[in-house]
Amino acid sequence: MTEAITADRLTIRFGSFTAVNDVSFAVRKGEIFGFLGPNGSGKTTIIKALCGLLKPSSGGGTILGMDVVKDAPEIKRRVGYMSQKFGLYEDLTVGENIAFYAGVYGISGTAAEQRKKEVLDLTGIEKYLDRRAGQLSGGWKQRLALACAIIHSPEVVFLDEPTAGIDPVARRALWDLLFRLSGEGVTFFVTTHYMDEAERCGRVGYIYLSKLVALGTVHELQKLPEANPDGTTRVQIATDNASALLGRLRQMRGVREATIFGQFIHALVEVDKLEELRGRLTEAQIEPIVPSLEDVFVTLTYKIQETSQ
């Protein structure tokens, strides 16, 4: 069995509201799978169902071959889950938090000491061992939360927006850690709103309005026909003042989307209007580009909104 996580037509309803609608996917062992989608699209609810914390209304899933409903108690023991709220005890020290989670997973004595040392080494948090969790910075709290989530050496780890609100250096440190663990065979399911993080993942799923609307490698998603509508081309526009040009550009015929990326504008333009655009923007350099992941998701979202109107 090479699949660590599967969802099979997973559907979760809260009363008459469908939070997760017929979602299917599979994550291979050792993969880092990125999961994206707007707020409220159903990401956390899927994680909870896969961790055995929430019973699906229909459909189901597996973790390491175990059924998420029938084997929920075993799954809870075997997976690591770092929720958005981290689940740390702010009044306890770093060492006490780790010891507490070791106890929760039934690890004691020399095994607990050994494992504690390993996660301290791995996360580099040993220097704060005696500091209360509540007094750590966001980046260190997040590393402590990860240490607690993996204290029982889980083969599958769910991380729900693990890097929200932390600085780029701390984010990179966390990703280095994930790559290291994935190299050792640990499977990660990571939700994020950061496109650069999604691009680090082996494969990415995009959920919108409770449905999985795209799934694949970044390269595959960039080539999706839905993200590259017939008769359009994606261009990068270099100009001295991108902000000033953006408003004008959005009014021009044949420009379907335009947004600023650093010093450039990315635009989705109708092919037969491209020459006209070049003629009107003589001061700008216009070059064809492949869509960024953000371009892909924005275009997909617009398309779904259009077709559901």
Q: Using CB under 6 A as the criterion, which residues of the chain lie in contact with ligand ATP when the complex forms?
A: 14, 19, 37, 39-45
Q: Which is nearer to ligand ATP, 41 or 62 (CB)?
A: 41
Q: Which is nearer to ligand ATP, 209 or 252 (CB)?
A: 209
Torsion angles phi and psi, residue 182, rounded to 5: -70, -30
Q: Which is nearer to ligand ATP, 26 or 209 (CB)?
A: 209
Contact yes or no for 83/101 (Cβ under 8 A) = no
Q: How far is the CB of 109 from ligand ATP (least distance, A)?
A: 38
- Number of Cβ atoms within 10 Å of the Cβ of 155: 16
Contact yes or no for 66/74 (Cβ under 8 A) = yes
Give which of 71, 64, 51 is closest to 160, Cα–Cα. 51
Q: Which is nearer to ligand ATP, 19 or 79 (CB)?
A: 19
Q: How far is the CB of 282 from ligand ATP (least distance, A)?
A: 43
Q: Which H or E run includes 104?
A: helix 94-104
Q: How far is the CB of 158 from ligand ATP (least distance, A)?
A: 12
Which pairing describes strands 79-82 and 156-160: parallel, antiparallel, or unpaired? Answer: parallel
Q: Which is nearer to ligand ATP, 14 or 179 (CB)?
A: 14
Give which of 223, 222, 205, 201 is closest to 214, Cα–Cα. 205
Q: How far is the CB of 210 from ligand ATP (least distance, A)?
A: 7
SS3 93: strand
Q: How far is the CB of 37 from ligand ATP (least distance, A)?
A: 5
